Amino acid sequence: MSDGLRKGLPSYGDEAFSLFIRKVFIKAMGYSDDALDRPIVGITNTSSDYSPCHGNVPQLIESVKRGVLLAGGLPMVFPTISIHEIFTHPTSMYLRNLMAMDTEEMMRAQPMDAAVLIGGCDKTLPAQVMAAASANLPAIVLPTGPMIVGHHRGEVLGACTDCRRLWSDFRADKITAAEMEQISGRLAPSVGTCMVMGSASTMACLLEAMGLALPMSATAPAVHADRMRIAEASGRCAAKMAKSGAPKPGELLTPDAVHNALVALQALGGSTNAVIHLAAIAGRAGVEFDLVAVDRVGREVPVLVNLKPSGAHYMEHFHHAGGMPALLRELQPFLRLEARNVAGDTIRDAIARAEEVPNQDVIRNLDTPLKQEGAIAVLRGNLAPRGAVIKQSAASPQLKQHTGCAVVFDSIEDMSSRIDAPDLDVRADDVLVLRNAGPIGAPGMPEAGSLPIPQKLARAGVKDMVRISDARMSGTAFGTVVLHIAPEAAMGGPLAIVETGDRIRLDVEARALELLVDQMEIKRRLEAWRQRPLRRDPATRGYAKLFEQCVLQADEGCDFDFLLRDGGRAKS
């Protein structure tokens, strides 16, 4: 099946010459004819000095290469852009589609029979899988793996759930600036991705559940020898795929795989960001995806994984408790067990090989769940006609049914400038509303949805409030936070017309988010908004313009409309 070096020749009008000249140039690097005759495995290099989450990529590449060579393939490393959550402005989500386009086009443009996708930080794995789905080239995902945990004054710490908790304590004057300096060197004590069940860990786990990565590849710590062995095995697997030409992403990204991902997402206490990424991946694969299924699965599947921010432990503990295969074993009644993985096995096979770890408290069983319902609930109502999500597993139980008065912020800048103002008229039972922070409004839908508790309330001991927005939230965050309201305010969604003082009702059990304002008044305000929409200046050039014109809403995955499998258009 392999085409090797003959694949995708440049057009010089003479195919034989094109191959000849390709060989001329590659031989400049010292390759032999024997090497150049092998099936080629492309390996993405997403190493960057800006990405500590990818700090082990050079070592992983060496291990992958070893696996490819041992299995008779030729490894070829190529760079793609890399996105680190904390080092990208305005937000990493803004660049996810750019990374997906870059990766897809380089997978198509360069000769390779299969690819190993090495990524980890939040948006990188989704971008790479979106690319692979569109290129439909055999590909295996290799996550960079989570960091090991940190320690401070006898407490175990992890980025970034504890970053947020400790920052809140600092804002409430419970921690000094000097101690915060010390803590800043302890929250992320190794390379690798955040070691709680944030977006990076969630996506790595979901992709393993979908069969796109080898068993145990989501959880092995970035600096553990297991990680390097998994990299070698991934290289071997990729060489096998390069020889056989299978399985292609289209064979793995099936409705069953997406269903299994939703089951895993709910049981993991996973990140709300995963809902957006799964929608985007499904859109690339032509698999139907809707928020109704997310909620239905969430009603049935309890949270079983006792990891922060929903629980107590960290990713390395999950790994040592048996990782995803052990979790999937507990979830068997909900899974489509005949779904296949990159190695040609079924999920049933992977479960059969799962390790039994006695006396562990990280992976619960169905009789002793961490939470009775899944992590994520989907809300609807006159404030969110196309849906909104809440990570109910990380919300305060007493706020899941709550009615309060809106305190509205028109933008992230407005929120930043006023949230801590001593004269801000706000009470603990109010509802903080942030708008114009969605895919188009911000742009890029930043993780600003977990609005800070106003400082005067934080100092008075308030730890959580109902917060609603069209933004996203880090998977490492916690609180009663309603996100991804669609349509967003910048598109004229009802969030655009909420006024300070309006009453808002949240009822997670009833899956309701309602603006308690007379229907005629809502209509009047929407009409007035259409006459004079509150929006920032439109982008005039470059990627910003492309983004603004083509990005889909949150419920559709925030992909670009022209990148969907059928080149479809957004819902109106």
Among 44, 56, 80, 85, interactor with ligand FES by CB under 6 A: 85
Minimum CB distance to ligand FES smaller for 198 or for 557: 198
Contact, 458 vs 109, CB < 8 A? no
C-alpha separations of 537 from 88, 98, 400, 437, 530 in Å: 21, 22, 37, 14, 16
Q: Whose Cβ is closer to ligand FES: residue 51's or residue 63's?
A: 51
Q: Does residue 187 touch ligand FES according to CB under 6 A?
A: no
Q: How many Å apart are CA 106 and CA 77, to the nearest integer?
A: 11
Tokens 């005629």 belong to residue: 520
Minimum distance of ligand FES from residue 121's CB (angstroms) = 3
202 binds ligand FES (CB under 6 A): no
Tell me how many helices (H) and strands (E) the chain has.
20, 14
Cβ pair 303, 371 in contact under 8 A: yes
Residue 387 lies near ligand FES (rule: CB under 6 A): no
What are the start-end ranges of the H helices in 136-216? 161-171, 177-184, 199-209
DSSP string, 28-77: TTT--HHHHTSPEEEEEE---TT-GGGTTHHHHHHHHHHHHHHTT-EEEE
Query: Is 194 near ligand FES (CB under 6 A)?
Result: yes
Among 21, 36, 81, 86, binds ligand FES (CB under 6 A): 86
Q: Is 201 buried (19+), middle (13-18) or exposed (0-12) by CB count in 10 A?
A: buried
Answer for the pair 82, 51: CB distance below 8 angstroms, yes or no: yes
Stretch that binds ligand FES, among 193-201, 460-468, 503-511, 520-528 (CB under 6 A): 193-201
Residue 201 or 480 having the CB closest to ligand FES: 201
Tell me how far, at minimum, the Cβ of 46 lies from ligand FES, in Å. Answer: 11
> Which residue number, 196 or 498, has a Cβ lying nearer to ligand FES?
196
409: nearest Cα among 398, 417, 399? 417
Q: Which part of the chain contacts ligand FES (CB under 6 A), choosing from 80-88, 249-257, 402-410, 531-539? A: 80-88
| Contact criterion met (CB below 8 Å) for 449 and 481 | yes
DSSP string, 258-324: HHHHHHHHHHHT--THHHHHHHHHHHHHT----HHHHHHHHHHPPB-B-BTTTSSB-HHHHHHTTHH
Provide the minimum distance between the beta carbon of 360 and ligand FES in the complex, in angstroms, as a whole number: 24
Site map (CB under 6 A) of ligand FES, residues 43-72, x = contact: ----------x-------------------
Residue 342 engages ligand FES in binding (rule: CB under 6 A)? no
The window from 78-86, 290-298, 312-320, 322-330 that contacts ligand FES (CB under 6 A) reads 78-86
C-alpha distances in angstroms, 507 versus 99, 297, 317, 442, 517? 37, 19, 34, 27, 16
* Member of 122, 256, 373, 470 binding ligand FES (CB under 6 A): 122
Q: Is 122 helix (H, G, I), strand (E, B) or coil?
A: coil
For residue 30, what are the contacts with CB-CB under 8 A and spacing of at least 6?
A: none
Piece of the chain touching ligand FES by CB under 6 A; list 19-27, 81-89, 324-332, 544-552: 81-89
CB of 194 to ligand FES, least distance (A): 3
Query: Is 26 one of the binding residues for ligand FES (CB under 6 A)?
Result: no
In angstroms, the Cα distances linking 28 to 21, 22, 75, 168 are 11, 10, 16, 57
Residue 93 engages ligand FES in binding (rule: CB under 6 A): no
The one segment of 12-20, 101-109, 194-202, 550-558 that binds ligand FES by CB under 6 A: 194-202
Can you tell me which of 41, 68, 76, 121 binds ligand FES, judged by CB under 6 A? 121
By CB under 6 A, is residue 221 in contact with ligand FES? Answer: no
Q: Quick one: which of 41, 114, 135, 200 contacts ligand FES (CB under 6 A)?
A: 200
| Cβ distance to ligand FES smaller for residue 198 or 211 | 198
The whole-angstrom separation of Cα 316 and Cα 313 is 8
272 lies in the site for ligand FES, by CB under 6 A: no
Nearer to ligand FES, 137 or 207 (CB): 207
Site for ligand FES in 355-374 (CB under 6 A): none
Interface pattern 140-179 for ligand FES (x via CB under 6 A): ----------------------------------------
Q: Is 375 helix (H, G, I), strand (E, B) or coil?
A: coil
Measured from the CB atom, the residue of 308 and 505 that comes closer to ligand FES is: 308
Q: Output the smallest distance, CB 434 to ligand FES, in A.
A: 22
CB of 1 to ligand FES, least distance (A): 35
Nearest to 198 by CA among 308, 355, 123: 308
**Residues in binding contact with ligand FES, number by CB under 6 A:** 10
> At 504, which helix (H) or strand (E)?
strand 503-507
Closest separation in Å from C-beta 157 to ligand FES: 14
8 A C-beta contact, residue 468 and residue 383: yes
Determine the interface stretch with ligand FES among 192-200, 349-357, 395-403, 544-552 (rule: CB under 6 A): 192-200
At its nearest, how many Å lie between ligand FES and the CB of residue 218?
A: 13
**Which of 67, 138, 198, 493 lies at the binding interface for ligand FES (CB under 6 A)?**
198
3-state secondary structure of 126: helix
Which segment (82-90, 98-106, 402-410, 494-502) binds ligand FES by CB under 6 A?
Answer: 82-90
Distances (CA, A) of 505 to 14, 404, 508: 68, 7, 10
Coil, strand or helix at 102 = helix
- How distant is the alpha carbon of residue 450 from its chain centre? 16
Query: Which residues have C-beta within 8 Å of that of residue 120, sequence separation ≥ 6?
Result: 46, 53, 54, 143, 144, 145, 192, 193, 200, 204, 222
The stretch near ligand FES (CB under 6 A) out of 84-92, 133-141, 373-381, 522-530 is 84-92
**Separation between Cα atoms, residue 284 and residue 559, nearest integer Å:** 9
- Per CB under 6 A, residues contacting ligand FES are 53, 84-86, 121-122, 193-194, 198, 200
